[in-house]
C-alpha cells in the first residue's frame, strides 16, 4: 500500500489532492456495490475500498476524451486494482478531497476518420 | 441462422416462388397495417426521429437488393422488393421498436395503433431474426452470448461477441465487425495485415488488437524527445499509411514495469507535455506523480 501527499498515479488514473470540488458534477452511481473509478475492458476495475463516508462525483463536461471524477472521503480509503496478476499496487487515500483523471489517448486513424466525415 | 441461407439456394421453382410471394404479400396486406398505422401516427408526432430511422431502413434495403441481384439476377430483384416485408430482426434490430415503445411508455403518446403494435412488440421482445410467411414463420433464437463494452457496443477481446447455440458466431471490436481469426488466431494478425486494411474502422480495430507497442516495434520509429524518467517516457514519431503527417506516440513504462505506447496529437513536441495532455492538463499544471503503481 503506497501513500502520497499531492499527486499519485495508479495505471491510467492520476490522483491529485485538491481543496474543493468544481461545479458541474453528477453523483457517481454504485456498480455491484462499489465505486468504480476506472473501468477495464477485462473487468479489472480500479475501485474504492469502501462506500461509507465517500461522496463520489463525475465531472459533467471534461476535456475531449477525458473522464474526471472527484471524491470527498471522510475515512481512510484505498484505491484498489481488481486483478490478480500485473496488479497496480493499492494507494491509500487519507480523508480529504481528491481528483481522479483517467488517461486519454489520441488515435490518428480515428482523427482521420473524423476529418473525412466533416 | 438457417434461413439466411435461403438467398443462397438455387431452385428451378423460381416462377412458383414468385407467385407464392406475390400472393403472400397480397394476403397479408391487411395484417401488416397494424405496424404501419402505429408508424405513421407516431411519424406525425416525431418527424425528425423518423427521418433517421427511414434512412437506415432505406440503406438496409439497398444493400439487400444489391446482394439479391448479385446472387440470383432478376428473381433476386423481385425478392429484394419484398425483402423488408418478411425478413425482420426481432430483438436484434430493435431500434425501431424501441422508438415506437418509447413514444408510448416514456413520452406517454398513447395511440390506438399501439394496440395491434403490441403483438409486433412481443415478437421483438421474445425472438431474434425471423422470416414471416402466411404458412410458417422461421424465428431465430436469442444468442447464448452477447458481450459488449462500456458503451454497450458489441465487443469481446477473447472470443465471439455473439454466439448462437449452433456455434454460429460474430466477432466485434468496440462495435466494429472483425474477422474471427483476428481474435481466435491472433498470430495471423500482423502489423502488415493491420495497416493494409482499406476500411478505416477495421484498421483502427486491428491496430488496437495488436497494440501500438508491437506495431511500432515493426516500424522504424524516430525519437523526438526523451525524458530521463522512464515513467514519463519517450516521444516517438512514425509514418503510417494514409496519414499526411507522421503519427506520434509516447512510449512509457507503467508502475508494473510493462511498456505501453500511447497515441499523442501531432502538435506535441515534448514527452512531459505529452504526459500532461494524456491527463487533460496544461503542461504548466502538470506535476510528476510522487508515486506510480
Q: A interface toward B at CB cutoff 8 Å?
A: 2-11, 14, 16, 39, 41-42, 62-63, 65-66, 68, 81, 86-91, 101, 103-110, 112-113, 116
Show the DSSP H helices in chain A as ranges. Answer: 108-117
ipTM above 0.95, yes or no: no
CA distance B13 to A117: 46
| Confidence check: pLDDT of B144 > 50 | yes
Q: Residue A110 — left, alpha, or beta (φ > 0 → left; ψ -120 to 50 → alpha)?
A: alpha
Confidence tier at B36 by pLDDT (50, 70, 90) = low
Looking at residue B9, what is its pLDDT? 41
**B285/A contact by beta carbon, under 8 A:** no
> What is the pLDDT at residue B49?
56
More confident: A4 or B217:
A4
Interstrand relation of A7-10 and B291-292 (parallel, antiparallel or unpaired): parallel
Of A4, A9, A110, the CB nearest to B255: A9
Q: Which of A35-39, A68-72, B11-15 has the highest mean pLDDT?
A: A68-72
Residue of B151, B255, B277 for testing the chain A interface, max A β-carbons within 10 Å? B255
- Model pTM above 0.80: no
Which pLDDT score is estimated for A112? Answer: 64
Q: Is B39 helix (H, G, I), strand (E, B) or coil?
A: helix
List of chain B residues whose C-beta atoms are within 8 Å of the C-beta of residue A65: 280
CA B180 to chain A, closest CA, distance in angstroms equals 19
Q: Mean pLDDT in chain B?
A: 80
For B152-171, write each residue's pLDDT tens digit.
889 999 999 999 999 999 99
- Check whether B3 has a pLDDT greater than 60: no
How confident is residue B241, by pLDDT bands cut at 50, 70 and 90?
A: confident
The packing angle between helices B95-105 and B114-126, to 10°, is 130
State the virtual CA torsion across B158, B159, B161, B162 in degrees, nearest 10.
-160
A83 has a pLDDT exceeding 50: yes
Amino acid at each position: 500500500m503506497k501513500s502520497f501527499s499531492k499527486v499519485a498515479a495508479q495505471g491510467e488514473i492520476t490522483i491529485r489532492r485538491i481543496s474543493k470540488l468544481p461545479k458541474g458534477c453528477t453523483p457517481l452511481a454504485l456498480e455491484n456495490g462499489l465505486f468504480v473509478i476506472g473501468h477495464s475492458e477485462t473487468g479489472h476495475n480500479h475501485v474504492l475500498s469502501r462506500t461509507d463516508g465517500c461522496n463520489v462525483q463525475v465531472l459533467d463536461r471534461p476535456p475531449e476524451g477525458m473522464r474526471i471524477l472527484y471524491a470527498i472521503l471522510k475515512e481512510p480509503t484505498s484505491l484498489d486494482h481488481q486483478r490478480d496478476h500485473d496488479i497496480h499496487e493499492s494507494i491509500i487515500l487519507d480523508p480529504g478531497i481528491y481528483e481522479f483523471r483517467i488517461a486519454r489517448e489520441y488515435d490518428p486513424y480515428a482523427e482521420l476518420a473524423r476529418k473525412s466525415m466533416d | 441462422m438457417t434461413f439466411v441461407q435461403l438467398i443462397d439456394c438455387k431452385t428451378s421453382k423460381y416462377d412458383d416462388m414468385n407467385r407464392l410471394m406475390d400472393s403472400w404479400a397480397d394476403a397479408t396486406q391487411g395484417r401488416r397495417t397494424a405496424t404501419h398505422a402505429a408508424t405513421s401516427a407516431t411519424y406525425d408526432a416525431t418527424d425528425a426521429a423518423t427521418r433517421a430511422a427511414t434512412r437506415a431502413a432505406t440503406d438496409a434495403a439497398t444493400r439487400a437488393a444489391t446482394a439479391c441481384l448479385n446472387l440470383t439476377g432478376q428473381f433476386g430483384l423481385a425478392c429484394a422488393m419484398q425483402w423488408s416485408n418478411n425478413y425482420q430482426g426481432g430483438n436484434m434490430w430493435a431500434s425501431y421498436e424501441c422508438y415506437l415503445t418509447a413514444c408510448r411508455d416514456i413520452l406517454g403518446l398513447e395511440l390506438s395503433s399501439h394496440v395491434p403494435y403490441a403483438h409486433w412488440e412481443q415478437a421483438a421482445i421474445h425472438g431474434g431474426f425471423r422470416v414471416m410467411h402466411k404458412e410458417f414463420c422461421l424465428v431465430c433464437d436469442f444468442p447464448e452470448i452477447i458481450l459488449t463494452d462500456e458503451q454497450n457496443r458489441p465487443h469481446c477481446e477473447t472470443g465471439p461477441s455473439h454466439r448462437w447455440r449452433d456455434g454460429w458466431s460474430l466477432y466485434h471490436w468496440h462495435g466494429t465487425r472483425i474477422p474471427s481469426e483476428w481474435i481466435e488466431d491472433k498470430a495471423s494478425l500482423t502489423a502488415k495485415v493491420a495497416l493494409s486494411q482499406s476500411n478505416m474502422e477495421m484498421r483502427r480495430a486491428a491496430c488496437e488488437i495488436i497494440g501500438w507497442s508491437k506495431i511500432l516495434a515493426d516500424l522504424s520509429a524516430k525519437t523526438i524527445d526523451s525524458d530521463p524518467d522512464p515513467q514519463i517516457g519517450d516521444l516517438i514519431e512514425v509514418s503510417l499509411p494514409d496519414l499526411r503527417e507522421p503519427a506520434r506516440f509516447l512510449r512509457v513504462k507503467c508502475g508494473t514495469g510493462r511498456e505501453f505506447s500511447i497515441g499523442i496529437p501531432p502538435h506535441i513536441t515534448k514527452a512531459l507535455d505529452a504526459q500532461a495532455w494524456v491527463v487533460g492538463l496544461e503542461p504548466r499544471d502538470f506535476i510528476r506523480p510522487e508515486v506510480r503503481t
